[in-house]
Structure 1
């Protein structure tokens, strides 16, 4: 598997386990991964498979486009606990600084709790309150990082 495919799998897996955003630019056709292929995941486990992931960073702006993907992740760390499933048909997002807007269709379902806030989603519809404030409806949404 190529380095970019590994980066795509790690990005989706860490998002599921720890609500972490990836960094850097990469472009992957097909990707898959699990916790065993990512030594950097401590206190979490994930399994993901997808087709198409393009991420470009230009200064403070970032754009992402993802094709179909599925995954499941569980994370437990000093920043809280999280369990999330992912079933996404496609999405595209743009972030500038602390703001991020996403247009997509997904059925992500799960919860996350910790010192930085709470998040809940059911079939791609949900909210986050705390360090990050956001809303989503069937995979389309907006979020803003307060600190």
Structure 2
């Protein structure tokens, strides 16, 4: 189970190209369930500058989210989600189940506090990560070992 994490990610730094001019938005939901798929060529619009394709499914109880430019914050109650994405930078898939979480992001810097488990894998030019029920490892720019959501890592920049 993961209680807290903080990181700076190269992929999130590159994704700032997609969000630097994102308009302000905020919303809350009491219950939610949604699925979707997307694929797109680059356009000069927020969220569409990097070509990508993917699919997702999510459901939960209680959610509040706010976003503006490269900043975002979110709080969630019990939820489960799964997603997969491929873009010019890399590819990955993850499944997540959480009791509750709160997160904030400012460009490449992200902080998350919550109680949940992650299962999935990502691969890209800067490394690879594999987790199963919060246990796994990453190799590359960030090298880490995770055991039941507790992680020890070393970032090389």
Return the TM-score normalized by structure 1: 0.59
Higher share in strand: 2
* Structure having the higher Rg: 2
Higher share in helix: 1
Q: Which residue of 1 aligns with 2:124?
A: 114
Q: Which residue of 1 aligns with 2:82?
A: 72
Report the CA distance between 1:91 and its aligned residue: 0.6
State the secondary structure of the residue aligned to 1:79: coil
Deviation track 1:26-51 (CA, whole Å, cap 9, x = no partner) reads 22222211125x67695222221112
Unmatched runs of 5 consecutive residues or more in structure 2: 1-10, 41-50
Distance 1:135 1:50, change over 3 A: farther
Distance 1:29 1:116, change over 3 A: farther
Unmatched runs of 5 consecutive residues or more in structure 1: 1-17
Root-mean-square deviation (Å): 4.1
Alignment map for 1:2-17 (pairs within 5 Å): none
Alignment map for 1:1-147 (pairs within 5 Å): 24-36=25-37, 43-57=53-67, 62-125=72-135
Q: Which residue of 2 aligns with 1:9?
A: none
How many residues align? The count is 127
